[in-house]
Amino acid sequence: MDKFEMEQYQQIRELIAELQSCFIDGDAYSRSPSSSEWRRASRLVHQVNLLCLELYGYASACRQYNVVATRGSLQLITCENEKSDVLGTSDEEQGFVEFTDKEIEQMPKKFRRIILCNRKRCRMRLHESGKNTTTYEIRYRRDGYELSACGKTIELAKAKMIEKMKTAKPKSKSEAGEIPTTFHSFAMHYFTTKRIRLVVEDTYKKDLSRYNLYLKPYFKETLIAKITLSQIQKLIDDITNAKKFKTADELYSLMNAIFKFAIDNHLIVHNPCSAVIREGYEKESSVALTKDEERLLFEESHDEPLFELAFALALYTGLRPNELKTAQIDGDFILAVNSKRKRIGKTTERAVEYKRIYICNRLRAYLTNGLPKLPTPQLLRRRIKKALPNHILKDLRKTFNSRCKELGVSDHARKHFMGHSLGVIDNTYTDLSTEYLLIEGKKLNGW
């Protein structure tokens, strides 16, 4: 067998193995397939049938013509005793038109093999274009190509089709509306069509970076249906053994979401992540600062006013790191976007909600010149580690919440300041007034 025949043969074997998995489980026991497996099996049978027909067409062409395989492409060599300029004949009853050897030689190399494998034929339709006139349409829609050429005569339609072949470019799977079946291509499909709608921009960037670092080089373009539990378990174990417990947990969650999306698209039936064994670990929990640590933080930041202001804003308002950039002064309050709002109903749009936090006396002293552009959360995380090695940036938020409770701020006001949900009923029927938030917020002046 030549290179082309070997490629076709290997594809057929892979499809048959995938087809067998619909009816036989991993322990070689036959089982009754589900409805989705029947649909998948039907698609696989259709693909095998098309490959067999293509291989048959190629073999027939090889017997009839002198076809030489060179570096994966095929060149048509006309037989010395067969030089005909006769125009091709059409088979209108069957809906096909046949190209001559001379016409095939005018086609780009990539289409010569395709047309030969299709027995030198393309689909053809006959359209009525007037009372006594007809138009011939030749079409080719396969392998990512969608070509169509029309003419008053078959010869004119064929000439136009050959010209279109010279500039034709196949559509990508996403453009053609096809669902990729290999891991990396499908994962990119998941990221661009679903993940980007579920998470905020910062989370999306982190997830994509984590994917490119670990999952992409490990699975590459492996067929989704061939990825096994043992492969996933090995990856998780390797990362866990490297003491990267948080990374292992995040990668498991990401893979779980990708395989669930594959089930939704009928690429697989069972999620291979469902039986993965993970080693538990204690997540790094935040710890409130003591009064002495609060004082030390500002002493260490005093020489850098922007960092001092950013730490004061985070500590005395409880804003999340990604909310600091949205903060603005609004009278007696800091107005900022609540970044943890859920999507609106079943849509992908997120509700934009602002929260107001009272400006206590300690914070007011830092706002005499307004709010300039503050350092990024990444810089703040590094700087707080330098000033307080045993603390992280989100400890400032926990400190604010703790002080609210110590100073007697009501739960409803505290949850509003923190950006927490009031509960299903209270979220629907409660709208806290400015006067109420002002009264409760002034309790923070005792800080």
Q: What are the pLDDT digits (tens) for 95-113?
A: 788 889 889 889 988 888 7
pTM greater than the 0.85 cutoff: no
- Phi and psi (nearest 5°) for 127? -115, 140
Is there a domain that residue 433 lies in? yes
Is there a domain that residue 360 lies in? yes
Q: Are residues 106 and 55 in the same domain?
A: no
Average pLDDT over residues 142-154: 84
CATH of the domain at 438: 1.10.443.10
Structural domains counted in the chain: 4
Q: What is the pLDDT confidence band of residue 80, given thresholds at 50, 70 and 90?
A: very low
Is there a domain that residue 402 lies in? yes
Is there a domain that residue 78 lies in? no
Beta carbons within 8 Å of 133's beta carbon, 6+ residues apart: 152
Cβ–Cβ under 8 Å, residues 122 and 161: yes
Is there a domain that residue 191 lies in? yes
pLDDT at 82: 37
pLDDT at 120: 79
Q: Are residues 50 and 22 in the same domain?
A: yes
Q: Are residues 196 and 96 in the same domain?
A: no
Average pLDDT value over all residues in the chain: 81
CA 49 and chain centroid, separation? 31
- Phi and psi (nearest 5°) for 328? -150, 155
Give the residue from 170, 195, 224 where a domain finishes. Answer: 170
Tell me the two tokens of residue 2: 């030549």
Helix H, strand E, coil C: the string for the chain is CCHHHHHHHHHHHHHHHHHHCCCECCCCCECCCCHHHHHHHHHHHHHHHHHHHHHHHHHHHHHHCEEEEECCEEEEECCCCCCCCCCCCEECCCCEEECCHHHHHCCCHHHHHHHHHCCCEEEEEEEECCCCCEEEEEEEEECCEEEEEEECCHHHHHHHHHHHHHHCCCCCCCCCCCCCCEHHHHHHHHHHHHHHHHCCHHHHHHHHHHHHHHHHHHHCCCEHHHCCHHHHHHHHHHHHHCCCHHHHHHHHHHHHHHHHHHHHCCCCCCCHHHHCCCCCCCCCCCCCCCHHHHHHHHHHHCCCHHHHHHHHHHHHHCCCHHHHHHCEEECCEEEEECCCCCECCCCCCECCCEEEEECCHHHHCCCCCCCCCCCCHHHHHHHHHHHCCCCCCCHHHHHHHHHHHHCCCCHHHHHHHHCCCCCHHHHHHCCCCHHHHHHHHHHHHHC
Q: Taken in order 294, 295, 296, 298, is the CA torsion positive or negative?
A: positive
Q: Give the separation between CA 410 and CA 416, rounded to whole angstroms.
A: 10
pLDDT at 24: 63
Tell me the two tokens of residue 186: 């499908």
Q: Are residues 338 and 259 in the same domain?
A: no
pLDDT at 345: 54
Is there a domain that residue 70 lies in? no
Beta carbons within 8 Å of 85's beta carbon, 6+ residues apart: 100, 102
Q: Are residues 157 and 226 in the same domain?
A: no
For 225, half-sphere exposure in the C-beta direction (CA atoms, 13 angstrom radius) is 21
Is there a domain that residue 73 lies in? no
Instruction: Name the range with the highest mean pLDDT among 54-63, 157-166, 343-352.
Output: 157-166
CATH of the domain at 191: 1.10.150.130
pLDDT at 47: 77
Q: Are residues 313 and 226 in the same domain?
A: no
- Lowest-pLDDT choice from 350-354, 385-389, 443-447: 350-354
What's the start-to-end Cα distance of the chain, in Å? 84
CA 5 and chain centroid, separation? 35
Q: Are residues 51 and 149 in the same domain?
A: no
pLDDT at 375: 92
Q: Are residues 298 and 339 in the same domain?
A: yes
Q: Give the separation between CA 319 and CA 419, rounded to whole angstroms.
A: 8
Q: Are residues 249 and 351 in the same domain?
A: no
Is there a domain that residue 53 lies in? yes
Q: Are residues 101 and 244 in the same domain?
A: no
Q: Are residues 157 and 261 in the same domain?
A: no
Cβ–Cβ under 8 Å, residues 233 and 186: no
Domain extent, residue 311, equals 291-446
Q: Are residues 433 and 296 in the same domain?
A: yes
Q: Which residue has the tokens 């125009």?
A: 87
